[in-house]
């Protein structure tokens, strides 16, 4: 393996990139057992220690799960993992729980300027927009708008139902793995529409969370704007 390329990249980084590529290309499916360190070392032609550094890096990125004595597995977008990795709204007095969802609307549209910008589209590109309300213990928690580029999710309009865990859907239906996301939070006042959906008064302060979800190639997949009631719930963030 070329270790003296013009733009120098450590060998273990090159190995990591090659393995990520094989994940993207679907050679290994979510949940699947991948070859052991020794097999990969033989196959790729580097030492076991270098393979280990690459696998450790991918484990840190939540792409793999390693279990001593069992092997290395491709991470799956299960609810429990999503809950831990991507869902930061926590009841003030308890453990994180996954809210239920009810779809309010699903329709195709032309991307707005903001969507073009966030999702890396071109003017006039088609998108799907989904509006849903999510509840915790029956009480409305948030309303959110999901925007998906039509080109990324062919056949989206034919789906009979949209599951609660849409990241699992993206993975199963289109082989798209959400690797990371960036969120922007603001405090806003509830509009008439939001207030009706949430059962609160117009003007109620809401936590607006704008999320861009990226796949393993860091290409944007989904834009999500959530408006959340935070009376009994907070957004949790760990620094450092």
- Of 7, 63, 73, the closest CA to residue 35 belongs to 73
Residues 97-136 that bind DNA (CB under 7 A): none
Which of DNA, a second copy, none interacts with 88 (beta carbon under 5 to 8 A by kind)? a second copy
Instruction: Tell the smallest beta-carbon distance from residue 186 to a second copy (Å).
Output: 4
Rounded Cα–Cα distance for residues 128 and 204 (Å)? 28
Residues 26-45 that bind DNA (CB under 7 A): 36-39
Residues 5-44 that bind a second copy (CB under 8 A): none
Residues 52-91 that bind DNA (CB under 7 A): 52-53, 55-56, 66-72
Which of a second copy, DNA, none interacts with 124 (beta carbon under 5 to 8 A by kind)? none
> Please, which residues have CB within 8 angstroms of residue 185's CB and are 6 or more apart in sequence?
207, 208, 209, 210, 235
Burial code of 93-131, b = ≥16 C-beta within 10 A, e = fewer? eeeeeebebeeeeeeeeebeeebbebbebeeeeebbbbe
**CB nearer to a second copy: pick between 107 and 184:** 184
Instruction: Tell the smallest beta-carbon distance from residue 234 to a second copy (Å).
Output: 4
* Angle, in degrees to the nearest 10, between helices 37-44 and 11-24: 100
Binding-site member from 34, 179, 195, 224 for a second copy (CB under 8 A):
179
- Counting contacts by CB under 8 A, is residue 187 touching a second copy? yes
Rounded Cα–Cα distance for residues 140 and 226 (Å)? 12
Binding-site member from 59, 62, 135, 164 for a second copy (CB under 8 A):
62
**CB nearer to a second copy: pick between 77 and 149:** 77
**CB nearer to a second copy: pick between 90 and 104:** 90
- Counting contacts by CB under 8 A, is residue 47 touching a second copy? no
Place of tokens 């798209």: 176
- Paired tokens of 178: 């959400």
Binding-site member from 189, 191, 200, 225 for a second copy (CB under 8 A):
189
Q: Are 11 and 52 in contact (CB under 8 A)?
A: no
Q: Are 133 and 102 in contact (CB under 8 A)?
A: yes
Binding-site member from 17, 27, 29, 49 for DNA (CB under 7 A):
49
CA distances from 193 to 107, 134, 196, 224 (A): 17, 15, 5, 17
> Taking contact as CB under 8 A, which single stretch among the options 12-20, 83-91, 106-114, 148-156 is the one that binds a second copy?
83-91
The 8-class DSSP code of residue 175 comes to: -
Count CB atoms within 10 A of the CB of residue 138. Answer: 7
Residues in contact with DNA by the rule CB under 7 A: 3-4, 8, 10-13, 36-39, 46-50, 52-53, 55-56, 66-72
Residues in contact with a second copy by the rule CB under 8 A: 61-62, 85-86, 88, 178-189, 203, 205-208, 210-211, 228, 230, 234-240
């Amino acid at each position: 393996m070329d270790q003296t390329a013009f733009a120098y990249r450590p060998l273990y980084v090159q190995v990591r990139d090659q393995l990520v590529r094989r994940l993207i290309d679907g050679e290994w499916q979510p949940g699947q057992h991948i070859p052991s360190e020794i097999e990969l070392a033989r196959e790729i032609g580097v030492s076991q220690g270098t393979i280990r550094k690459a696998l450790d890096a991918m484990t840190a990125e939540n792409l793999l799960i390693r279990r001593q004595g069992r092997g290395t597995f491709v991470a799956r977008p299960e609810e429990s993992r999503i809950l831990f990795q991507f869902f930061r709204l926590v009841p003030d007095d308890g453990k994180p729980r996954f809210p239920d969802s009810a779809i309010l609307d699903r329709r195709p549209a032309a991307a707005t300027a903001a969507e073009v910008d966030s999702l890396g589209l071109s003017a006039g590109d088609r998108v799907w927009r989904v509006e849903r309300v999510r509840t915790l213990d029956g009480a409305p928690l948030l309303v959110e708008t999901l925007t998906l580029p039509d080109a990324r999710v062919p056949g989206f309009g034919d789906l009979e139902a949209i599951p609660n865990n849409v990241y699992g859907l993206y993975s199963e239906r289109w082989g798209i793995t959400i690797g990371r996301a960036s969120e922007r939070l603001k405090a806003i006042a509830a509009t008439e529409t939001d207030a009706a959906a949430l059962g609160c008064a117009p003007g109620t302060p809401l936590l607006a969370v704008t999320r861009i979800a990226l796949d393993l190639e860091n290409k944007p997949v989904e834009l999500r704007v959530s408006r959340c009631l935070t009376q009994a719930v907070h957004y949790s963030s760990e620094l450092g």
